[in-house]
Chains A and B, each alone.
Chain A
Amino acid sequence: MSGPDAVHGEMPGFFPGRPGGERDEPLLDMIFDRRPLPPGAPPEMHDLARMLTVVAGPAEPGELAGEATVLAAFARLASPAGISPAASRSARRRLSVRPRRARLPMAAALVTAAAGLGSIAAAYVGVLPGPIQQMAHVTVGAPLPPHGSAHRPAAVANPRPNMTLAPGISVTRPAHSAVPRRIHSGTASHWPRHRMSVQGPGHVAASCIPWPGTTPSAAKPSPTPSPTPSAAKASPSPSAAKASPTPSPSATRPPVGASQSPVGADCPYIPATGPAQAAVPNVWVSPPSGDGGS
């Protein structure tokens, strides 16, 4: 044969213009291996070698434009602590999404455990209502419930001032005052104290816990809720607590802010000193009066 009998497009495996191009495979391998071509190699081979040398050459303008971004990612991800295999595994675990159905039982278990531990702790502190405290005494050996403390509401929110929140709780608060003041203070006592907080004008949250200094058997509910400290009551249980009609220094809470406050100054809502009239509390809860306190 004197020449190619097929056009190049019909014989794609052959080198263009060179029938039997498979014979150039050693040259092509030399180009791939970046070895110098023999002087007698076809010029196309040299052109190919030159092109491939260029394409494998150093960076051209713009090709390193993303360096700052990649290095920032490196600095963020590849800190000495984060580059360790353990940290990488930890990061992968953090990135992995736990199935939702696996998270729900875990959350329920955590909530249950927290509630149980909290209940046990409350039982040992002795702040549970009487029947529950009694049950805790039987079951987990918690202290016996104080006599007469049958019920203590945990917290009451009252959007209006000067109204009774619940049986045994009365709140007196000037509507214009939004700054929480100390309700009472006192020395250490095994009785939890009344707690109140003002969460803004017209919003009062109160915690009704027996007043320190009173004995469990002395607490009596007031027949009628009263906005005055002397008439307020803390325990709604008629059988357990009765409020004294008149304030008693030992059983009822003095005017908020009065220096003769029976409790200490650890309550953030009660000013430590000040005239009784001037220090009318914006919120406060009267302590329960004892049976024999009146």
Chain B
Amino acid sequence: MPVESSLRRDVPAPASAPSASRPVTPGVSPGDHRGPGGEARSGSPERHQPPVIAGGARGGDQGPGPAARWGLALAPAVVAAVAAASNAAGLLSASSAIVGVAALSTLWATAIGVAYARSAARLTRHRRALGHDAALFAGAPTAMIIADGSGRIGLVNAEAERLFGYPPQAMNGLEIEALVPGRLRGVHVAHRASYATHPVVRPMGTGKTLHGLRRDGTEFPAEVSLGPVESPDGAFVVAAIRDVTERFVFEQTLREQHARLEAALRSKNRFLARMSHELRTPLNAIIGFTGTLLMRLPGPLTGDQEKQLTLVRSSGQHLLSIINDLLDLAQIESDRVRVGSEPVSCREVVAEVKSTLEPLAAAKGLALDASTPEPDVIVKADRRAMVQILVNLVGNGIKFTSTGGVSISVNAGADDGMVELSVRDTGIGLPDDARARLFDEFARLHAEGSEPYEGTGLGLHISQKLAGLLGGRITFHSDGPGHGSRFTLHVPKGA
């Protein structure tokens, strides 16, 4: 029968010859000779249950007859008879089965190995039950091991033997923990216990790195998938084991590189935060004492002195704004900016922005109009972030406008349900080719044939990032060079 031959070929049983009459197992006293009836009282669970015969053996119901069936039920209970049992799946003649039973019966007295013998028997019958699947199991390109509920190996395939470095058959009967490094055995037993309570097909020890122990004592990282095998003889577990050394090494390298990268990013951000603090401290004194001189606290100033001190102060303030931008950027990039999400009054925000920048606009002779909404519009945002964005947009408007003015307006009736805060200016506008890079880091606007405008090119980039943190965005519109610009902050409506 093809099934049987393939089973024999691919999964050699411990006793490869189908010998029910094989000599007794070492350690078993041949002198003690009891019949099958005597064995019944020795506590074999098989006799406490109805004589159910697993898998293929059931076919024997219509086959060899009652005696052979009994032989099948009992023969596998002994190690030496495993192969016989597997061959006997409804094929052996009644007489040879009975011979087998007779020979086997001599073994029952020995307590040693009985428990193992039982499980081996169950496994053997299970193997019979596998039928065609046994060939698949034996030749599978993945290492597979079948163990019983107590963790004893009953069946392995050739790939498992190769993976763990054992000669053929040498793994049978081992505790499964023999394949686990000593330091992990306790954990493995726990894994096993937890699997028994919830036996479904799943990976073992999800999220943890498992290790296998080869016969020569070396280890390898392993991935183990478990599946339950139910049979009338009890529950078994089939484990598929893969050597994942390559992936393990790859992942480890990746993890190390990731950690190095994160450390580098952290140190970059620490450096930026520290440097901006260190840079701001002396600026405090530079801007401060320039201020006291300009306040004429120490005494009167000449016209030149005042002009030069004013330059010192404005340069200092410019430097300060660059440092603040860099600090903001470092904090946004390192996700250290936490924006609130609370009801914010647009009217208040617009008023604050207006009062902050009115002196700057007035100094350039520009109008700064703010049409505050009536009634007030409430958005869901972070007030400080909103003010910072609008100060930047209005500040840009002032910077790029020489005649006319800048205006702020609020529109709560947008189609997308967002509130729009628009900043319009009558300035130089923007050529089309500048739009794509407008919100990039360090994007700078160069007007044709003129000096670049002052600034780091971080303002819009930071503003756009802040708008994103608020759940909104900034959009831009210009009718072209010379026609002014309109930047619009879109933020979610308040409750």
Judge: A and B partners, yes or no: no
By a beta-carbon cutoff of 8 Å, the part of chain B in contact with chain A is: none
Chain A: residues with CB nearer than 8 A to chain B? none
